[in-house]
Amino acid sequence: MALLTAREAAKYLNVSLATLYRIEKRGDLIPFRTAGGHRRYSLAMLNEYLERSRERSLSANSSRNAQSNKLPGNKLRILVVSDKAETVEFVTSALGEDGDVYEFATASSSYEVGIQVATFRPALVLLDMARREFDGCEICRRIKSDPDTKCIKIVGLVNPGEGEIIEELLSCGVDDCLIKPPQAEELQQSVRYLTLLRLSEGGG
């Protein structure tokens, strides 16, 4: 049986390596392990995941359509943490394609993140890890360790070639990581999934 590497499996699924890690983290895909601890995937395993994903997508679309009927006046709040105008513009433009269901705020420092989390009360935080002036893991820990904010979903935006940061962020409680620049559809799918998951968990 021919087995694929993680990079080959991500290419087959048409997702980033970061998204593949997230899929595995939530238990939707369990790879084989070699004697050296490397992850390997069979085509049958990947095709089964794609079929399950397609069925969930149909169900999620139905839920999202029902949700969108309730959202005017009660939009889902998203905090974009970046000092780059192009990143903020990309995020708001890509998610705007899903309709007028999100409200955005921005922050460009750890201090501003704390203020916005307390006052804006986002449902989801998009954390641009291109900035070295703040500790992304510390931000994640603070959000996830506080009973009042632990339900906030966090997506890290990571530069290519920084796999070690992805692993670090996942261990700190981030809910998903995307390689920059993400495809608009990949960003939309991640935010849809996490906001719907938050609603199903009773996060409001």
Q: How much of the chain, in percent, has pLDDT values that exceed 70? A: 83
pLDDT digits (tens, 9 = 90+) for 169-191: 788 888 888 888 888 888 888 88
CB 110 within 8 Å of CB 139: yes
Model pTM score: 0.66
Measured between alpha carbons, how far is 47 from 1 in angstroms, rounded to an integer?
15
Q: How confident is the model at residue 50 (pLDDT cuts 50, 70, 90)?
A: confident
Domains and CATH numbers, the chain: 1-70 (1.10.1660.10), 74-204 (3.40.50.2300)
DSSP 150-188: TT-EEEEEE-TT-HHHHHHHHHTT-SEEEESSPPHHHHH
| DSSP code string of 32-60 | EE-TTS-EEEEHHHHHHHHHHHHHHHHHH
